[in-house]
Chain A
């Protein structure tokens, strides 16, 4: 792995600082905007570092196709898509194995906080479009999706924010960026609720030892608060 690295990325950590100047347990700068799509019931635009995501909520509305309708609760439909221009190489539009998987895990991450039983027979459609990808797209999409759902007035137990923790050059680091994700060893996206810090998504790509895993969870729990604050601030500012 290390041998394929370009010279620029030979060392990802220099003097306990990462290449973009962050410390190991620092998040990338966050910017969230609410209500960017007037035609949607709820929407949010988020920038975490160079990752940019647009989230839109339509609904609750009629469920289609009808055979998937649930008599007792609403159905959350999540569509995650990387736009063709989001990476250096063109992404083929349309569903793929990867985008289907991420749509599914994102749905599970958000479904658990929504009071779906308040809207029987209906559907809530959440669209997550990755405008620019620079690692951590699913985590960023979940953070944006939660804000868009809150903006749409959908009852939720709490907000959800997500970030990734990974291993680069043998050290644990929070919120990996593009090169760190590409040339690092491990990447573990985690989504948490704002009230109790319950985990609603946890995936892992790569290896962690048991100790490293516990430590990684601890890092996320301690450092995820700025994301919730950014979400709250964006929503509060919108209503001011």
Chain B
């Protein structure tokens, strides 16, 4: 069972767009000035004026002052559905509710587990956050020991940065063997790719099971671990370049020719 389910769905929006393009080419041309375009990734820096209009919403990585929207990060400019946002190129992971993270159980109290996931303060996995019913006074190490890796969802984050985790999710699970690599968290969306294209491609070609945590911890298990690691590290290194999926695909094909294609195994944990 792979845990990040990627359902390549045909975009209805795109189809609609294609239809409308034929009717209104003039309008397309007008909006192109603002559109960042698919190929050219425009890099913006803190304090750069992105747009002077009140018709747009200041999304992630931006702030509004008067009728202007400015960038507050160094990153890539995105403009989708009148929301202007900046995808950062660097920075630390800030936990958000409903994110999936990979963490390591660092110590156990009598009623909860503390999980280290690369953030300055540790997250708490309470007894109630586990699908099984746990009776009072039961040794919690039965479920998760110190040093165990878990793929968990963040259930809540308070203003004072008290982070609670939950395992009551279909995707959440304990990770057995395999290895964990660390990348910087702003690069995670690139590793996953648009609707998971990148990660599913790496999974298919290398035959590895890969779990990506939003915190930048990536768990890999399979025969081609080293190759998958190389590919992911490459994504991290060239994350700001366009046409990356093809580049990684070519790289994997070339490397796999030397080794031979991965053996197809049944679904495994």
Contact = CB atoms under 8 A, between A and B. Distances in A.
Bound pair (A, B): yes
Interface in A150-189: 150-159
Interface stretch (B90-98, B109-117, B147-155, B248-256): B90-98
Interface residues of A, number: 32
B88 interface: yes
B13 to A, nearest CB: 30
Nearest to A196: B65
A119 B47 CA distance: 19
Contacts of A155: 46, 61, 72-73
Most-contacted residue by chain A among B70, B88, B91, B94 (CB, 10 A): B91
Nearest to A194: B47
Nearest to B74: A150
A41 B91 CA distance: 8
Nearest to B162: A121
A158, A195, A236, A239 interface centre (most CB from chain B within 10 Å):
A239
B45 interface: yes
B45 A195 contact: no
Nearest to B186: A153
A120 B160 contact: yes
A232 B74 CA distance: 10
A42 B92 contact: no
Interface in B31-71: 43, 45-47, 49, 61, 63, 70
A119 B160 CA distance: 9
Top 3 closest A-B pairs, CB basis? A153-B91, A158-B47, A153-B90
Interface of A: 41-42, 59-62, 71-72, 113, 115, 118-122, 150-159, 193-195, 232, 235-236, 239
